């Protein structure tokens, strides 16, 4: 990206005059700064939400406080992340699936409930059971200032690292299944010898 095309129009004449051979009036709209100049004149480092794409397709500096929402996958789980404002903590949320039914896996259900109860000791979040029997991860942490994209992503990673041992145990709980009942005349498979 360079500024040649825009600077050529800027220097062609005063605002409101015609640009030779183009028939376009050199107005304030046409003397807009290039993306490079816009970013260069913004205070660095660039914080999340401080630069936006305008309706005209140009990058603009944006001072107003506005929420940020994004999604990503980690550890095989889809996460939703929210920053309600520039001063708000980063909030993560993920649906981890249904709590195993007792008939399906009593051991899995017991383990999942134990893991969810253990997350109450976490400072930054917990795993709760929804009314629909979904296991839901909720966590929050304040990103460091300045809130650059790298700082926000690093904050999300720090939260996931806190939850990782619990996520691994929940994965085991969901994987535990009661063996199917044996049909009459079937023999139990003998364990393989090493």
Q: In this structure, is residue 33 part of a structural domain?
A: no
10: pLDDT confidence band, cut at 50, 70 and 90? very low
Q: Considering the entire predicted model, what is its pTM?
A: 0.63
In a domain, 26, yes or no: no
Output the DSSP codes for 107-128: HHHHHHHHHHHHGGG-SSEEEE
Indicate whether 10 belongs to any domain.
Answer: no
Give strand pairing partners of 80.
Answer: 71, 93
pLDDT tens for each residue of 87-132: 899 999 999 988 888 877 888 889 999 999 999 889 999 999 999 9
Counted domains in the chain? 1
Q: Is the peptide bond before 166 cis (omega within 30 degrees of 0)?
A: no
Give the domain extent around 118.
68-175
């Amino acid at each position: 990206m360079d500024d040649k095309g825009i600077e050529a129009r800027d220097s062609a004449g005063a605002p409101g005059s015609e640009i030779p051979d183009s028939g376009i009036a050199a107005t304030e709209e046409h003397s807009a700064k290039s993306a490079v100049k816009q970013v260069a004149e913004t205070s660095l480092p660039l914080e999340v939400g401080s630069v936006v794409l305008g309706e005209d397709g140009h990058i603009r500096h944006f001072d107003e406080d506005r929420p940020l929402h994004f999604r990503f996958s980690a550890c095989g789980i889809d996460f939703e992340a929210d920053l309600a404002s520039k001063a708000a903590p980063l909030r993560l949320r993920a649906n981890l699936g249904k709590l195993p039914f007792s008939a399906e896996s009593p051991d899995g259900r017991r383990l999942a409930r134990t893991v969810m109860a253990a997350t109450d000791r976490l400072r930054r979040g917990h795993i709760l059971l929804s009314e629909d029997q979904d296991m839901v991860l909720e966590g929050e942490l304040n990103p460091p200032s300045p809130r650059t994209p790298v700082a926000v992503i690093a904050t999300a990673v720090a939260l996931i690292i806190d939850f990782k041992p619990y996520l691994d145990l929940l994965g085991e709980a969901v994987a535990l299944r009661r063996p199917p009942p044996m049909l009459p005349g079937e023999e139990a498979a003998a364990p393989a010898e090493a």
